[in-house]
Amino acid sequence: MPNLALVTGANKGIGLEIVRQLAAKDWRVFLTGRSRSQVMDAAASLGPSVTPIVLDVTSISSIESAFRTVSQETDHLDVLVNNAAIADDDDGSVFDLPAERLHRMFETNTIGPLLMIQAFLPLLRSSQSGRIINVSSGAGQLSELGTWAPAYSISKTALNGVTNQFASALTGENIPVNSVCPGWVRTDMGGSDAPRSVEQGADTIVWLATEAPQSMTGQFVKDRKAIPW
């Protein structure tokens, strides 16, 4: 049986590239996103090993529906990649950061991954080598934290906290949990001036999913190496 992964926010950008690379390694992948048409088109472009699922990580009912869909297809999940994210405050200031913007950012970037892990843990626990990968950002790195995009940065710092919490809570269960900084990547979010391709952005995530030591957990990883939080 092929290895099985689920990737959120996978209809474009880094998420789509993660799915493409995993499928090229003969994995079966559940490609998820909010837009039905985009998810269907993306999956169709990658072949029969990719299964599209409409999923909004800010909706508990949508997460539960996705879990039921996956559970009908398999009794386990080897890798969960929490990639879905939003960023819309790059020109904002923390001095006048609207609470609504912070709430919206946290719903997708922080709470969504937490709820996804909670929901899919039964399937991950049924795998012989389950892995959880949270796609974070250098913007959330405390050791380098600046003033750019405060809501986005704070939400990614908090996501790293989610990673640490689950890594500690799952100690002894052989389910590593890590955060990844993909770098500044040329996507709709990163813009055309970014120095990294989507292939480069996806590389460490795919490495963590397929090759990294199972003992590597509770780390913030960039370019296949642990970096400071």
Is 147:188 a contact under the CB 8 Å cutoff?
A: no
Distances (CA, A) of 212 to 34, 92, 99, 138: 30, 37, 38, 21
How confident is the model at residue 184, as a pLDDT? 64
Sheet holding 50-54, edge to edge: 50-54, 28-33, 4-7, 79-82, 131-135, 177-180, 220-222, 225-227
| Strands annotated E in 34-139 | 50-54, 79-82, 131-135
187 φ, ψ to 5°?
-135, 180
CB neighbours (10 Å) of residue 90?
14
Task: Spot the catalytic one: 12, 152, 222, 225.
Answer: 152
Nearest partner of 138 among 196, 81, 214, 92, judged by Cα: 196
Per-residue pLDDT of the chain (229 residues; tens, 9 = 90+): 899 999 999 999 999 999 999 999 999 999 999 999 999 999 999 999 999 999 999 999 999 999 999 999 999 999 999 999 999 876 789 999 999 999 999 999 999 999 999 999 999 999 999 999 999 999 899 988 888 899 999 999 999 999 999 999 999 999 999 999 997 677 777 777 777 888 999 999 999 999 999 999 999 999 999 999 9
Task: Spot the catalytic one: 12, 25, 156, 222.
Answer: 156
Our answer to whether residue 156 is catalytic in this structure is yes
Our answer to whether residue 152 is catalytic in this structure is yes
CA-derived radius of gyration, the chain: 16
The correct answer on CATH 1.10.3720.10 for the domain covering 4-227 is: no
Domain ranges of the chain: 4-227
32 φ, ψ to 5°?
-125, 155
How confident is the model at residue 144, as a pLDDT? 83
